[in-house]
Amino acid sequence: MNNIKSLPLVIGLGELLWDCFEDERRPGGAPANVAFQANQLGCQGTVVTRVGQDALGKELLEFLKQQGLSVDHVQIDESFPTGTVTVQYSDANDPQYTIHEHVAWDHLEFNDDLSALMQHSQAVCFGTLAQRETASREAIHQCLAATSEKCLIVYDVNLRQHYYERSWIERSLEAAKMIKLNQDEVAEISKLLGLSTGSLGQFANRIQEDYELEAVCITRGAEGCLIYAEGQEFNIPGSPVEVTDAVGAGDAFTAALISRRLQDWGWEQAAIFANRVGGLVASQAGAMPVLKQEFEQISQKIQNS
């Protein structure tokens, strides 16, 4: 059996929080979801974030430890509380988020510990939301700058509420090797960057050229995804699932794509796997369902097909 040290190190860099539903709360935060799922997908998933010195923070750390994730790089903030998000959805496919401000993950600090960690990472996934405050935005980009040349840096655009600006997005695109976004985000990014709003392919080709990206992944919900890489378009249809809630499904997709690219799977095969993983998570409650065995079964099925 592989020693954990030999597994690819995949870092979720940014927010860790509680998704607060009407009747319960569940662990969440897009980068943390990616790290959690990467851990289930055969990588060493690690969360780099900050929580409060409060009961909610302690509970999150305990949850991550119970799921086999290291909490060595989760900072504790003595002044700001652990992050929370109110989730509402009249439509299970389209949850609405109210993201509360002045919380611990807004105040991530770059330090020697994170510098050393980043140098050993095989992949880092980060988003836009955790860049809403200057402190965390600068810490995130210092982390990205500390990675090795071989590290797969994935920018999961993930626009939320009003927490984004053109300059943050451009800086993130310049740091990334791969980006993932949905069709609504394509329209918003096109508008912000003054890109042509023609076909998805035109958008992908233009943004790849402008920012020297290796790959652009556009998710389309039940319709699957489009991936533009190596001068090709990979159009992967969706697999029908009965959606319980869509919270975290996109993050599971991202983690699956990263994990299989680190195993040298081709883009098409990796995207088929990612679609199925995302669909499976959408059929479950919450962003971090325990599905390690199911993921392995899907992986073997695709490899054997």
pLDDT at 283 over 60: yes
Q: How confident is the model at residue 293 (pLDDT cuts 50, 70, 90)?
A: confident
Taking the C-alpha atoms of residue 82 and residue 189, their distance in angstroms, rounded to an integer, is 30
Residue-level pLDDT at 288: 79
Tokens coding 301: 């099925």
Strand segments, DSSP code E, in 103-142 are 123-126
Q: What is the mean pLDDT of residues 276-293?
A: 83
Residue-level pLDDT at 4: 54
Taking the C-alpha atoms of residue 158 and residue 250, their distance in angstroms, rounded to an integer, is 9
DSSP label at residue 82 = P
Q: What is the mean pLDDT of residues 233-238?
A: 92
Using DSSP bridges, classify how beta strands 215-219 and 225-229 pair: parallel, antiparallel or unpaired: antiparallel
Q: How confident is the model at residue 299 (pLDDT cuts 50, 70, 90)?
A: very high
Residue-level pLDDT at 206: 93
In which order are the strands placed within the sheet that holds 178-182?
74-77, 44-52, 9-13, 123-126, 152-156, 178-182, 215-219, 225-229, 232-236
SS3 for 11?
strand
CATH architecture entry for 4-299: 3-Layer(aba) Sandwich (3.40)
Residue-level pLDDT at 21: 84
pLDDT tens, 32-91? 999 999 999 999 999 999 999 999 999 999 999 998 899 999 999 999 999 999 988 766
Question: Is the pLDDT higher at 282 or at 49?
Answer: 49
Residue-level pLDDT at 2: 42
Taking the C-alpha atoms of residue 139 and residue 149, their distance in angstroms, rounded to an integer, is 19
- Listed in sequence order, the residues at least 6 apart from 297 whose beta carbon sits closer than 8 Å to its beta carbon are none
**165-194 burial code (b ≥16 CB/10 A, e <16):** eeebbebbbebbbbbbbbeebbeebbeebe
Residue-level pLDDT at 255: 97
Question: Is the pLDDT higher at 5 or at 105?
Answer: 105
Nearest to 120 by CA among 239, 9, 244, 247: 9
- Tell me how far CA of residue 110 lies from CA of 13, 42, 72, 136, 208, in angstroms: 11, 27, 14, 9, 29
Contact yes or no for 154/180 (Cβ under 8 A): yes
Write down how long the chain is: 305
Helix axes 134-145, 112-119, angle to 10 degrees: 40
- Give bridge partners of residue 45 from the DSSP assignment: 10
Tokens 């655009």, located at residue: 157
Residue-level pLDDT at 263: 95
Taking the C-alpha atoms of residue 63 and residue 253, their distance in angstroms, rounded to an integer, is 22
pLDDT tens, 92-127? 667 778 899 999 999 999 999 999 999 999 999 999
Taking the C-alpha atoms of residue 304 and residue 221, their distance in angstroms, rounded to an integer, is 26
pLDDT tens, 151-207? 999 999 999 999 999 999 999 999 999 999 999 999 999 999 998 768 999 999 999
Mean pLDDT of the chain: 92
Residue-level pLDDT at 1: 37
Q: How confident is the model at residue 6 (pLDDT cuts 50, 70, 90)?
A: confident
